[in-house]
Amino acid sequence: MDSLAGNLLIAIPDLHDHTFSRTVVMLVQHDLHGASGVVLNRPSEVTISQVWDEVSAVPSDCQDLVYMGGPVDGPLIALHEELQSGESCICPNCYVSIGRESLNLLVNQSKAKFRVYSGYSGWGPGQLEQELKQGGWFIYPGAARIVFDSPDGLWRQLCELIGEDVLGRHVGNVVPTDPALN
| 49 and 62 Cβ atoms separated by less than 8 Å | yes
The alpha carbon of 175 is separated from its chain's Cα centroid by a whole number of angstroms, namely: 25
The residue with greater pLDDT, 6 or 170, is 6
d(CA 42, CA 64): 13
Domain ranges of the chain: 7-181
Q: Who has greater pLDDT, 86 or 177? A: 86
According to the model, what pLDDT value does residue 167 have? 52
**pLDDT score of 130 more than 60:** yes
Task: Tell me the three state secondary structure of residue 174.
Answer: coil
> What is the spatial distance between Cα 37 and Cα 174, in angstroms, rounded to a whole number?
29
Helix ranges (H only) for the chain are 48-55, 100-108, 127-133, 144-147, 154-162, 166-171
pLDDT for the residue 172:
40
With bands split at pLDDT 50, 70 and 90, how would you rate the model's confidence at 33? Answer: very high
Picking from 31, 26, 143, 144, the residue whose alpha carbon sits closest to that of residue 82 is 144
Q: Which of 45-49, 69-73, 80-84, 174-178 has the lowest mean pLDDT?
A: 174-178
pLDDT greater than 50 at residue 36: yes
CATH superfamily of 7-181: VC0467-like (3.40.1740.10)
pLDDT band with cut points at 50, 70 and 90 for residue 176: very low
